Structure 1
Amino acid sequence: MTAPVLDTALCRLTGVRHPVVQTGMGWVAGPRLVSATAEAGALGVLASATMSLEQLESAIREVRERTGNPFGVNLRADAADAEQRVDLLIREGVRVASFALMPDQRLIGRLKDADVVVIPSVGARRHAEKVRAWGADAVLVQGGEGGGHTGPVATTVLLPQVVDAVDIPVIAAGGFFDGRGLAAALCYGAAGIGMGTRFLLTSDSAVPDAVKQRYLAAAAGDAQVTSRVDGMPHRMLRSALTESAESTGRLRRLPGALRHAAAFKAMSGMSWRRLIADGLAMRRAKEMPWSAVLLAANTPMLIREALVRGDADAGVLPAGQVVGLLDELPGCAELVEGIVEDAARVLAGSAGLVSRAES
C-alpha cells in the first residue's frame, strides 16, 4: 500500500516524499540507517561529528550507492575543519546540510551559492530569527523532550514561537514518534517532524539488539536530563554510569575524560591540534570552562561504548522522553508509511469535526 501524500514546504524544499526527518545521531545515523530512511521517502541525515573527513566522504558515497533519493549531512558548525566539510558536501552534491549548532553567515552563504539546502537546529526563537536573516532555508526546532543535548523549553511552547517568528519551513523535533504527532505539528504550522529515538529503535538501525531492548524496556521517566556527564544538559537513559556521574565531582571525572578523548583521537585519526582547536571553538561558542570542555570531549566515546560496542552500563544512552512509548522495532519503510497514513487519517478526521460543527 502506498502512503498518502502530505505535500509540505519541507518536501518541496528538499525533494523528499514525506515530511519526516531522521536526525543526525552520532554513531547511529550512518549509511545503513540514512539510506533506509531515504528509500522510505523521508529525509535521512548522516551524523558527521564522529567521522573524520575521509570517513565522511566514504559514508556519503556509500549512501549514494544504496539510494538515489535525497539525503543530508549534519555538521558541527564549530568544528575546526567545518569549511573543508562544507567543501566536501558541495563537491559530492549532497542535497541538505543541517547543523547541530548555529552556523555563521559565511558558511550558510557558501552552501546556498552551491544550491545546498541549509537547515540549522535551534533551541530558541532568537536563534531562528538570526539564521533566517543569514539565509537559512529552514530550521529544525527541538524542544526539551528530545534526546541528547537539549534545552529546557517544551516543544509545544517553543514550536509556535518559532513558527510565528520566521517565514521559512520549521521542522518540529522533541517528543515525536507517530502520526498523531506529525498531524499535531502540521496543525501548529510546522512543515514536518524530526525524530531521533524513534529511528534509533528500528530494525535498520545498527545499534546492537541488546541495547535496543534496554531502550524498549525503559519508561518515559528513565530518560533524565543531567549535566554531570559532559557539563551540558543531556537527556539520556539512567545507567550505572549516570548514577556514578551524579555522585562524583568534576575533578575526579577528568582523568577518565582525558583517556576517552585520547581514544577518540586515535579512533578518528584527528590530531591533537585539531582536537584542541575544536575544544577552543566549543569553549567560545558555549562559554564553557576548560573542565567542562574536557568532559564534553569525553562524550563521543561514551556514546560509542553503548551504541556501537553494546556496553549500556559503561556508556551513554541518549534518549528522548518518547522512549517510554516505544515497544517495537519496525523497519524505516514500515515506520514512515505508518506515520504518514496515521497523520492523514487524523487530519481528515479533524476536518470532519469542523464540517459537522458548521452544519
Structure 2
Amino acid sequence: MRTRISELLNIEYPIIQGGMAWVAEHHLAAAVSNAGGLGIIAAGNAPAEVVREEIRKARELTDKPFGVNIMLLSPFAPEVAKVVVEEKVPVVTTGAGNPESYIPMWKEAGIKIIPVVASVALAKRMEKYGADAVVAEGCEAGGHIGELTTMALIPQIVDAVTIPVIAAGGIGDGRGLAAVFLLGAEGGQVGTRFVVSHESIVHENYKKRVITSRDIDSAVTGRSTGHPVRSIRNQMTRNYAKLEQEGKSFEELELLTLGSLRKAVMEGDVVNGSVMAGQIAGLVSKEQSCKEIIEEIVDEMKHLIQNFHF
C-alpha cells in the first residue's frame, strides 16, 4: 500500500495510531510501528524528561519509525518540542494549538510535521507554514473534537491543500479506511480500536466499557467552554452536562474533570472517570493485537476496493 503518507513516513501501511493522552505510551506506539503502521507517543501534559524516557523505551522495542504527539496547551510543550529534536524523533503530530513557532526548529532537524486540524482554514495555514501533511479529524473521534463530520471535512480539506491528508474520526475497520481513501485521504488515523488492543495499557474496565458500547453511547461535553470532548456516557458526563445546563463557570467544570482521564485509564473508574472513545466504539467488539487490527483493516479494505462493482 503505497501512498504519499506511507512514503513520507517510511511505513508499510498508511495507518497512524491516534495520540491519545495516558493511552498512547511506548508499548502501544512500538507495537503499532512493528505491525507496519506509525505508532505515536502522546506527550499530553507530561514533563519533557518523562517524554524523553518514553521515546527511549519505545526505541528498545522497535527499530521502525514512530512519532510523538505534542499537546500544545501543555505547560511543558516548549521543552517537549526541543526533546523531540534532541532524540531525533522522525515524526511529530500536534494538537490543541498552533505549532507555527516550533516548525522552523523541527524542519531544520528533518522532522516530519503533521498537525491535527478540524477546519479548512487551519489546514491551509499549516500548509503555508511548512507542515508535511495534516490529520483532518472529524467530530466522530474520541477526546477533543471539532464540529464537522469526517464525511464533510475530508474532501474539503483535500481540495484546499496540496500536502497529503490523513483522515481521522470514525475509522475502525477496512470499510472506514476505504471510505476516507475515496474521499481523497491518503492515510487513516485509528484511535478507539487501538485502545482495546492487547498492547494497550488501559485498565480492563476501560476496555470492556468500549467493547460493550452501543452506537448511541457516546456524549459530547464541554461545548459551553469551547473545548468539546467526546466520551462514553457515564455518571461523570451526566454530572458535567447538568452543570453546563446550570451555567456553571469554566473553573467549576474543569474541577469536575480534573484527573478524570487518568482515573479511567489507570484506575479503571469508568463511572466517574473520563472514558474517551469515538462513535466507532459501537463497532469494536473484541480485544486483538495491534498486528491483528492493522492486518484485518488492510485486508478488508483491499478486498472491498478490488471487488467493488458499479
Partner-residue secondary structure (3-state), 1:311: coil
Give the secondary-structure state (helix, strand or coil) at the position aligned to 1:128. helix
Distance 2:59 2:206 in 1: 28
Which of 117, 121, 124 lines up with 1:126 in the alignment?
121
Correspondent of 2:154 among 159, 172, 184: 159
Letter in structure 2 aligned against 1:99? T
Higher relative contact order (CA 8 A, sep 6+): 1
Matches within 5 A, 1:174-253: 174-227=169-222, 232-248=227-243
Corresponding residue for 2:307? 349
What 5-or-longer segments of structure 2 have no aligned partner?
none
Amino acid at match of 2:134: V
Query: Does the C-alpha gap of structure 1 residues 132 and 299 become closer, same or farther in structure 2, counting only changes over 3 Å?
Result: farther
C-alpha deviation, 1:83, in angstroms: 2.7
Q: 1:11-42 CA deviation, whole Å, 9 max, x = no partner?
A: 11111111001011011001111111011010
Out of 264, 267, 276, the residue aligned to residue 309 of structure 1 is 267
Q: Is the 8 A contact 2:219 2:237 kept in 1?
A: no
Q: Which residue type is aligned with residue 100 of structure 1?
A: G
TM-score (normalizing by structure 2): 0.94
Answer whether contact 1:94 1:116 (CA < 8 A) is retained. yes
Match of 1:82 in 2: 77
Cross-structure match for 2:43 = 48
Larger Rg: 1
Equivalent of residue 69 in structure 1, options 61, 64, 81: 64
Query: Counterpart in 1 of 2:111?
Result: 116
Q: How does 1:269-288 map to 2 (within 5 A)?
A: none
**Structure 1 residue 105: Cα displacement:** 2.4
- Which amino acid is 1:13 matched to? L
CA shift, 1:318, in A, is: 0.7
- Equivalent position of 1:23 in the other structure: 18
* 1:100 paired residue among 86, 95, 99: 95
CA distance 1:80–1:214, shift in 2 (3 Å): closer
> Structure 1: 5+ residue runs without aligned partners?
1-5, 254-290, 355-359
- How far apart, in 2, do the equivalents of 1:295 and 1:63 lie? 35
Cα distance, 1:21–1:299 mapped onto 2, change above 3 Å: farther
Q: For 1:108 and 1:52, locate their aligned partners in 2 and report how far apart those are by CA, in whole Å.
A: 20
One-letter amino acid of the structure 1 residue matched with residue 16 of structure 2: V
Counterpart-to-counterpart distance in 2, 1:167 and 1:243: 42
Matches within 5 A, 1:141-156: 141-156=136-151
Percent sequence identity over aligned pairs:
35
- Aligned residue for 2:2? 7
Q: Distance in 2 between matches of 1:62 and 1:250?
A: 44
2:288 maps to what in 1? 330
Q: Deviations over 1:45-84 (max 9, x none)?
A: 1110132111111100000000000000000224333232
Which secondary structure state, in structure 1, belongs to the residue aligned with residue 286 of structure 2? coil
Q: Which of 55, 64, 71 is the matching residue for 1:60? A: 55
Aligned AA (2:269): D
Secondary structure at the counterpart of residue 40 of structure 2? strand
The letter for the 2-side match of 1:336 is I
Aligned counterparts of 1:151 and 1:66: Cα–Cα separation in 2: 34
Judged with a 3 Å threshold, the aligned counterparts in structure 2 of structure 1 residues 228 and 181 are, in CA distance, closer, same or farther, namely: closer
More helix by share: 1
- Aligned partner letter, 1:85: V
Q: Say if 1:54 and 1:229 are closer, same or farther in 2 by CA, change over 3 A.
A: farther
CA RMSD after TM alignment: 2.0
1:300 Cα deviation after fit: 5.8
Q: 1:293 to 1:24 in 2, by over 3 A?
A: farther
The residue type paired with residue 58 of structure 2 is: V
